[in-house]
Chains A and B, each alone.
Chain A
Amino acid sequence: MTAISRPAGGAPPGAAPGEISSPSGIARVFEYRLLGYRRTYRSSIFNSFVGPALFLAAMGVGLGTYVDASATAALGGVSYLAFLAPGLLAATAMQSASFEATFPIMGGLVWNRVYHAMYATPIRPKDIALGNLAWIAFRVLLISCVFVLVTALFGAAASPLIVLAIPAAVLTGMAFAGPIAAFSATQRTVEKFNAVFRFGITPLFLFSGTFFPVESLPTFLQVVAWFTPLYHGVALCRGLALGTAAEEPLLMLAHTAILVAFAAVGAWATVRMFERKLVRG
């Protein structure tokens, strides 16, 4: 009995495939993204290797030589390279997650409309939204692992504790991916994506403690930093990587809680926006 030769009214070959559970739907969406990724993974992994290597070489080793020669006390007594690496890890997680939460989301909803095609199957809009977020988390995880490997190769890992910064980096990425994916799902063109990166991601990258402690900023900017997820991501990754987290557990918990809140509210909003967009057609 073939898929297309069933006579009218005849018994189906085995049970007809029915409704599928939400976790299973999410897994299928993830599988779709993985299928697309297989086409580009070599260059993608290469890129996630080269990016941090260049930054660590230029900023960490080059600039770091001067920083280390003058005042390392402000950095907590570690080399500039060791200070920079976890901050850059969090910032890289933010950038990758933000990118993944813009163009690919618009691609599936507006350009080739494959998410509309998914919605014509038992898969629900909620599953499509969460499957994409799960995929972004996986991408950030991969990128973070490569980053930590590069850091170790540079001799910039202050201690093996740096591996603890990997989940913190994924959480940082998701604190951005959630809200940005929700925003992307409301857009019909890429016009506003540039603004997101130019006025959101880039300033955060520069002023959230990645390259220097936020304490060197004017007080009002320090206050602003507290309200942005990257500041908390950098602080958490750095605290874990340098082993200082144990000295201020409550502060670390606060950083984590804030990141979780951003990620959770963002995921909820992404689900709502996908539902709205897909139901509207």
Chain B
Amino acid sequence: MPDTPESQDSPLIHARGLTKRYAGFTAVDHVDFDVAQGESFGFLGPNGAGKTTTMRLIGCVSPVTEGTLTVVGLDPERDGSRIRAQLGVVPQRDTLDEELTTRENLVIYGRYFGLPRSEAARRADELLEFAQLSERGDDRVEPLSGGMKRRLTIARSLINDPRLLLLDEPTTGLDPQARHLVWDRLYRLKQRGVTLVLTTHYMDEAEQLCDRLVVMDKAKIVAEGSPRDLIERYSTREVTELRFPEGVQDTLDGQLDGIGERIERLPDRVLVYTEDGDAAAAAVHARGLQPETVLVRRSSLEDVFLRLTGRSLIE
């Protein structure tokens, strides 16, 4: 890339001791991470963990309080505008002008990046197709479904052909079908080599889209790795979920001891972490316990999060 000072193998984002403090509270507390060119990188964590603040720091719309941050090799404090020229941003809440048509939203956004009108229009048509919105190009945005608006926002974030795409909870609030459509589009971008950085509190989203992720909790990074790494490191292969009739779970103390490698009690169910879920279920029954339902499943990032923080991702 002749227009950027950094070399090919230096990270697109480099953060060390990155900290953001507001009056009286610390939203991001000394986090370290690097994102390489072409990678899909995720921030997984519950609401309030500091994910959105981190994204705003990377997006150069909020000044860093302390620590080092470079984005596309540049310093946000000095070169915010130049960095933003190379980013695509999908904010948590759509920020479309609903009175304008879908095409107008794209073209005017291209103009903010200094694109000539004809080039912005050409890219808008291309992106409408990519977002599967070609038929709605001349319709106002307001009556579109949530999923369509989300795809339009993603299309808009691509108008400047960004080197780095920042997605803050890209599918929160969408129904399952709409989510899958968005994932499909994001997966295509990933295949085309676009560097994705996303936040999510959905473990399935992180598992689908992220090559590597960090788990954030209370302003800090508590673990880092690929989804598979994290599951191997912090959980077992399988999980046996036991639901007992009301009141019974509280009377169980000690009776499950020795089954599986670890037991986690949630308010409504007991999780048995084990290499062999069916064997664990059999052992439970062998002890004369009668759970109402037994579900054997593979471990997920949700289990990793529970292990690391003692809390569920979605509360």
**Roughly how many angstroms separate A13 CA and B99 CA in the complex, as a whole number?**
32
Contact A121 to B112, CB < 8 A, known contacts A4-B130, A281-B56: yes
Please give the number of chain A residues whose Cβ is less than 8 angstroms from any Cβ of chain B in the complex: 42
Interface residues of A (CB under 8 A from B): 2-13, 15-20, 24-25, 28, 31-32, 35-36, 39, 112-114, 116-124, 278-281
Please, what's the 1-or-0 string for B68-88, where 1 marks a CB less than 8 Å from any CB in chain A?
000000000001111011110
Q: How many residues of B contact A (CB 8 A)?
A: 51
Interface residues of B (CB under 8 A from A): 1-3, 8, 37-38, 56, 59, 61-63, 79-82, 84-87, 89, 91, 93, 95-100, 104, 108-109, 111-115, 123, 126-127, 130, 156, 158-161, 163, 189, 192-195
Are B159 and A3 neighbours in the complex by a CB distance under 8 Å? yes
Q: Are B84 and A9 in contact (CB under 8 A)?
A: no
Known: A16-B160, A16-B161. 15 other contacts (CB 8 A): A3-B127, A4-B161, A8-B194, A15-B3, A19-B79, A35-B104, A112-B98, A117-B109, A119-B61, A120-B89, A121-B112, A122-B112, A124-B80, A280-B62, A281-B56
Closest-by-CB residue of A relative to B162 is A16
Asked if residues B99 and A16 are in contact (CB atoms below 8 Å), the reply is no
| In the complex, chain A residues whose CB is within 8 Å of the CB of B86 | 16, 18
Q: How many A-B residue pairs have CB under 8 A?
A: 134
30 A-B pairs, CB-CB below 8 angstroms?
Answer: A4-B161, A9-B8, A9-B193, A11-B2, A12-B1, A16-B161, A17-B160, A18-B82, A18-B85, A19-B85, A20-B113, A20-B114, A24-B114, A32-B108, A35-B100, A36-B100, A112-B95, A112-B97, A113-B91, A117-B96, A120-B59, A120-B87, A120-B91, A121-B85, A121-B109, A121-B112, A121-B113, A121-B160, A124-B81, A279-B63
Q: Which 8 A-B pairs have the closest CB atoms?
A: A8-B193, A117-B95, A121-B112, A8-B38, A120-B89, A113-B95, A19-B82, A3-B123
Known: A8-B38, A28-B111, A114-B95. A281 touches B100 (CB 8 A): no
Q: Give bound CA distance, A10 to B37, whole Å.
A: 11
Q: What does DSSP make chain B's interface, helix, strand, loop or mixed?
A: loop
**Residue of A at shortest CB range from B22?**
A280
Q: Are A123 and B112 also in contact (CB < 8 A) when A12-B3, A113-B93, A279-B63 are?
A: yes
Contacts of A24 in B (CB 8 A): 114
